[in-house]
Amino acid sequence: MYTILICDDEPDIRSALRIYLTGEGMDVLEAGTGAEALELIAEHTVHLVLMDVMMPGMDGMTATARLREQSNVPVIMITAKSEDGDKILGLTVGADDYITKPFNPLEVMARVRAQLRRYARLGGMTEKSGTLALGGVQMDDDAKRVTLHGEEVALTPTEYDILRLLLENPGKVFSSREIYSRVWKDVPVAAESTVPVHIRHLREKLEIDPANPRLLKVVWGKGYKLEEEKR
Amino acid sequence: MKKMLESRGVRVLAFLLCLVFAVGTAGCAFCFLYNYYEPDQTEGGQRGFLRNGLAWSYANEDMWSTLELYVRTLDDEGGPYLGTPSEGISFVILDPDGEVVADTRTEKACAVGSDGVYWSVEGYTARAFLELPARRGSPLDACVRLYDFLYNGRELFLPVGAALGLLALLLFVFLMAAAGRTPEGIRLTGLHRWPWEIFAGCLVFLAVGLAWVVAENSYGSQIRHIPMYAALYGTCGLGIGAAALLFCMDLAARCKVAGWWRNTVTFFCLKWLWRLVKWCWRLVRGFFRGLSRLVLALPLAWKGVLLYGGFTFLNVLLTLGADSMRGEAWSFLLVVLDLAGLAGVIWVTLQLKKLQAAGRALAAGDLAYNADTKHMLPALREHAENLGAASRGMTRAVDERMKSERFKTELITNVSHDLKTPLTSIVNYVDLLKKEEIDNPSAREYIEVLDRQSQRLKKLTTDLVDASKASSGALTVAPEDLDLSELLRQAAGEYAERFSLAGLECVLSTPPGNWVVRADGRLTWRVLDNLLTNTVKYALPGTRVYLDLLRREEKTVIAVKNVSREALNIPAEELMERFVRGDASRSTDGSGLGLSIARSLMELMGGTLQLTLDGDLFKAEMVF
């Protein structure tokens, strides 16, 4: 049983989120301002915080920064601004993830679950030899098994090979031609056009919102890379 | 004192007194200076008189004429004549041998001075004597009495003269002070208002006339007519003195009034002269001004013709001159003239070049360019300034436009941020409603509509912000080396499922070669994304979508071609305007901003987006 703190100045949004979260079997605390949120966190055991950025009084950024002084509870920012600068600022002050308004409730649930899994297993993760891991993705090369936040993901052999290539070189950008020649071990002639389709499938399996990937990123006009979003 | 200064009567009295005193002073000085005092002159009366120069002068007067007459009439019949000497004078005439030849003396005859009075002509000598005491009332008697007067008053003339002189001076000062004063203040009245030269001229004329009278009458025996001459001199002296005093008073009065020099003939003359000069100057200036205005008002072409005509005329003139005498000088002038003409042409050409540069800069959009108009011909300068004004006007318009665009962007951004919060609630509650178990099929249908429309609203708000940012340039562009063939492959991969869902077949053509351009990868993807979204939405199912990479005129082009499902009834250009959609597409979801955003983004990156419609064939080209 997890306890989630929803911090938003709009009661309608708070109650909508509460309905979804309680539907998932979670306890919900509600706060209207940043200050209230900090008080509730001090009094209760909270496993995750959903924090709105624009609030009267103390805003979400300040509240998150304060919260981080005493706790490493996962924080997901909810922001109406979709500019990159706001996202980066949010992640910098200590948020673990962000959702832009207007959000899709299913995406919120998925992100909440992902963060909870990660938080619950934090520190309990053991790395076996022949294991590759990055940002919640774990690859057991011996068993040919891939898990995301502990849940197994079913991949095709091609997808698996592509993922392994990217996991072995985190942060490196591979063009579809390179991926083709490294995975198919063949000279790319015209068939490399299939690589983006495979990547797309892979992203659909690993990402909560494939159009806005946080892990398997598209570098437009260059290629693809696997990279954990930097705090 | 003030009253005295201003009173006319007091002034007249002072004037007369001053005059009288001055003449008196002059008389005293005359008496004092007149040399009647021999060094040993210590007695008055007859004896004193005889030793005085006065007696000598009196005796001397007739002697010469008497002797001349006598000597000239020596041989005359009945001669020699002695004439009739003045009353009171007697003669003794001696011949060259010293014999007395004539003697008119009586027993009253007295010798004059210590040695007597002599005169000699051709050896004859005359000796004059005075018959004293004289008859009462005779001129000699008057002379004797004058001597008595002078002798008796000899101690008084100096002090009395000095006193009178002092009085006259005081009165003079008073008169000077009073001059021009009236009860109404210092003003020029009466004769003083005449122009100074005329007034002064009259006075000078009067004085000179009187002096002339004196000069004309000062001949003959004055000593014998002392009273008459005294009266004459006194009267003339008074007249001249009055004139001088009036002159001084007038001058004093005029000097007291500000701008005294205005009331002079000289000033009038100078004034008129100045006016004349000014008038002439104005006339000349007006003439030249009119001429220059006339020339300036001529159309530029006529000016050129005039200039060229003048130049040619001078040229012909000098050429003709070169044939005549002093041909070298004329030839030299001709060369100088032609060189000057050449320089002028070069000068004008250079200015035209400057203008051309300015015009070119303006045409190229360089609004900050300003032609240097310092040494330009007026006509060309006007042109250059017009160019400058045009560019300034354009700059202002562009600035205004940018400002309002930015303001609009800000407004749209803020409004859509505020829209997002309620929209989030709507999306969420619609989703919750969908999960409720509702038996009524109509209600479920309505919820479907709500869901669809809220999703569309969501897309619209996001697109709205993007569109305004893209068109106002508020987005940051980060150009990098971009492989367009890779980008096309990625895009095709991204859209593979959606194409097949829409029943479309994607034909990707990326010819081998270097397809790297400088562009922002994310923005380029946004453009391609928008184009492909449109394709999925509006392409006819069962047809092919062509993604081509090609090179045209040094530019790299991505072409997206598809067959439209519905006939498009509006021009391709208009499709890129905001909120414009083909009529048939109105009912489908989408904001109508996709193509507008795409075009703005391409322009932000320095490229263009071109749409062409050929029947149902829709072609979008991204030109880098």
What is the architecture, at CATH level 2, of domain B479-623? 2-Layer Sandwich (3.30)
In 3D, which of B104, B96, B254, B97 has the Cα closest to residue B189? B254
- E strand or H helix that includes residue A79: strand A75-79
How far apart CA A74 and CA A95 sit, in angstroms, is 7
Confidence band, pLDDT 50/70/90 cuts, at residue B579:
low
Interchain proximity B424–A101, CB inside 8 Å: yes
Whether chain A has a CB inside 8 Å of the CB on B580: the answer is no
Residues of chain A contacting B, Cβ within 8 Å: 10, 12-13, 16-17, 19-20, 54, 80-82, 101-106, 175-177, 192-200, 218-223
Q: Which residue of A has its CA nearest to B474?
A: A83
Which chain A residues are closer than 8 Å to B475 by Cβ? none
- Report yes or no: B598 and B558 within 8 Å, Cβ to Cβ: no
How far apart CA B127 and CA B115 sit, in angstroms, is 10
Among A52-56, A97-101, B366-370, the least confident range: B366-370
Q: Which residue of A has its CA nearest to B424?
A: A102
Strand B185-186 to B516-519 pairing: unpaired
pLDDT digits (tens, 9 = 90+) for B387-428: 888 888 888 888 898 888 888 878 887 887 888 888 888 888
How far apart CA B422 and CA A79 sit, in angstroms, is 13
How far apart CA A137 and CA B614 sit, in angstroms, is 50
Angle at A168 between CA A163 and CA A173, to 5 degrees: 75
Interchain proximity B486–A19, CB inside 8 Å: no
Global pTM reads 0.51
Fold designation for A131-226: Arc Repressor Mutant, subunit A (1.10.10)
When scoring A21, A83, A101 by the number of chain B Cβ atoms within 10 A, the one with the most, hence best to mutate, is A101
Q: Which of the pair, A27 or B463, is modelled with greater confidence?
A: A27
Of A12, A80, A221, the CB nearest to B483: A221
Q: What pLDDT is attached to residue A82? A: 67
Interchain proximity A221–B421, CB inside 8 Å: no
pLDDT digits (tens, 9 = 90+) for A158-182: 888 888 888 888 888 888 888 888 8
The whole-number average pLDDT for the span B117-144 is 80
**Across chain B, what does the average pLDDT equal?**
82
Helix/strand/coil for A136 = coil
The whole-number average pLDDT for the span A200-228 is 85
Answer whether residue B438 shows pLDDT above 80.
Answer: yes
CA of B592 vs chain A CAs: smallest distance (Å): 20
Full DSSP string of B338-403: HHHHHHHHHHHHHHHHHHHHHHHHHHTT-TT-----TT--HHHHHHHHHHHHHHHHHHHHHHHHHH
Which chain B residues are closer than 8 Å to A199 by Cβ? 493
Q: What pLDDT is attached to residue A124? A: 46
In percent, how much of chain A has pLDDT > 90?
6
When scoring B423, B426, B490 by the number of chain A Cβ atoms within 10 A, the one with the most, hence best to mutate, is B490
Q: Which residue of A has its CA nearest to B495?
A: A197
The whole-number average pLDDT for the span B30-46 is 66
Q: Which residue of A has its CA nearest to B515?
A: A221
Answer whether residue B207 shows pLDDT above 60.
Answer: yes
Confidence band, pLDDT 50/70/90 cuts, at residue B238:
confident
CA atoms within 13 A on the CB side of B152: 8
Among A2-11, A125-134, B570-579, the least confident range: A125-134
Which chain B residues are closer than 8 Å to A179 by Cβ? none
The whole-number average pLDDT for the span B372-381 is 76
Which chain A residues are closer than 8 Å to B489 by Cβ? 176, 192-193, 195-196
Full DSSP string of B86-147: PTTEEEEEE-TTS-EEEE---TTEEE-TTT-EEEEETTEEEEEEEESSPPTTSHHHHHHHHH
pLDDT digits (tens, 9 = 90+) for B473-506: 777 788 888 888 888 888 888 888 888 988 888 8
Chains A, B: CB pairs < 8 Å: 101
How far apart CA B76 and CA B78 sit, in angstroms, is 6
Top mean pLDDT of B134-138, B455-459, B567-571 is at B455-459
CATH (residue range A3-121): 3.40.50.2300
Angle at B158 between CA B153 and CA B161, to 5 degrees: 100
CA of A220 vs chain B CAs: smallest distance (Å): 5
Confidence band, pLDDT 50/70/90 cuts, at residue B290:
very high
Confidence band, pLDDT 50/70/90 cuts, at residue B466:
confident
Answer whether residue B178 shows pLDDT above 50.
Answer: yes
In percent, how much of chain B has pLDDT > 90?
7
Full DSSP string of B227-239: HHHHHHHHHHHHH
Q: What pLDDT is attached to residue B231? A: 83
Among A30-44, A175-189, B340-354, the least confident range: A175-189
Answer whether residue A222 shows pLDDT above 70.
Answer: yes
Q: Which residue of A has its CA nearest to B418?
A: A80
The whole-number average pLDDT for the span B541-552 is 89
Interchain proximity B425–A13, CB inside 8 Å: yes
- Report yes or no: A46 and A5 within 8 Å, Cβ to Cβ: yes
Confidence band, pLDDT 50/70/90 cuts, at residue B287:
very high
Answer whether residue A54 shows pLDDT above 60.
Answer: yes
- E strand or H helix that includes residue B432: helix B378-435
CA of A106 vs chain B CAs: smallest distance (Å): 9
| Cα Rg, chain B, nearest whole Å | 65
Confidence band, pLDDT 50/70/90 cuts, at residue B613:
confident
How far apart CA B31 and CA B153 sit, in angstroms, is 9
Of A103, A218, A219, the CB nearest to B424: A103
Q: What pLDDT is attached to residue B205? A: 92
How far apart CA A137 and CA B293 sit, in angstroms, is 90
Interchain proximity A193–B429, CB inside 8 Å: no
Whether chain A has a CB inside 8 Å of the CB on B434: the answer is no
The ipTM (two decimal places) reads 0.76
pLDDT digits (tens, 9 = 90+) for B45-87: 777 777 777 777 777 777 777 888 888 887 777 777 777 777 7
Confidence band, pLDDT 50/70/90 cuts, at residue A130:
low
Which chain A residues are closer than 8 Å to B423 by Cβ? 101-102
Which chain B residues are closer than 8 Å to A212 by Cβ? none
- Report yes or no: A225 and A217 within 8 Å, Cβ to Cβ: yes
